[in-house]
Amino acid sequence: MSTTQIASPRVALVTGGSGGIGRAVAERLGAEGMAVAVHYAGNRNRAQETADAITAAGGRSVPVTADVSDEGAVTAMFDRVQETFGGIDVVVNTAGIMLLAPLAELDLDDFDRMHRTNVRGTFTVSQQAARRVRPGGAIINFSSTVVKLTLPTYAAYAATKGAVDAMTMILAKEMRGRDVTVNAIAPGPTATPLFLEGKPQQAVESLKNMAPLERLGEPVDIAEAVAFLAGPARWVNGQVLYINGGVA
């Protein structure tokens, strides 16, 4: 177990923290006693609602904004978090987009959009996190179970998440001697707008029944795993954790 003295209170930055899984993660980390910076890209009101919910529960939280693919904007966001809370201990990259089509039919502009957010965005945020997270901290990226499931229409999205897997495992080794863990969470089908949008009910039911538990995941299920990696899981490092109810 790490002997590093962890700062108290700890500070977390959650990208994509204004809704869906990101909001559940931000609120759970707030409940764990962390001060939470809630990142948003375009909807400040939703980020403020998340921050207000954390504050109402007795925590500390502020909304912060950046285009995660923009190096300068991400640097400024990290600066603000450090200036507001005095440091950073946990960085969670939930920000991402999913655009589906058969590989032969996918508009390459859509592929580039996903790559810019899911790959470049994760890389840019992870780069700042690697430079700033304090000893005893954690960097947690977001992959996806579809990397293993190889479902039709998911080729481009899964490709971006495969890239996240690779950079996560390599960064964990590059952080040698820093006492900072680096892992990825790979959710399965989870009841969020990102997942449900545009899917017919029959498709949703089919995906739900893939899990032995016969339900979709909920954002709070994923947030539990993030809280584990952000807190007590100091010997889990360089891993991709599949949080999917047994789908794969």
| Residues belonging to the active site | 157
Asked if 140 and 225 count as a contact pair (C-beta separation under 8 A), the reply is: no
| CB of 190 closer than 8 Å to CB of 146 | no
Tell me the residue ranges of DSSP E strands in the chain.
Answer: 11-15, 35-40, 61-65, 90-93, 138-142, 181-187, 240-243
Structural contact between residues 153 and 100, judged by C-beta atoms closer than 8 angstroms: yes
What is d(CA 174, CA 176) in angstroms, rounded to the nearest whole number? 5
Which tokens go with 79? 């600066």
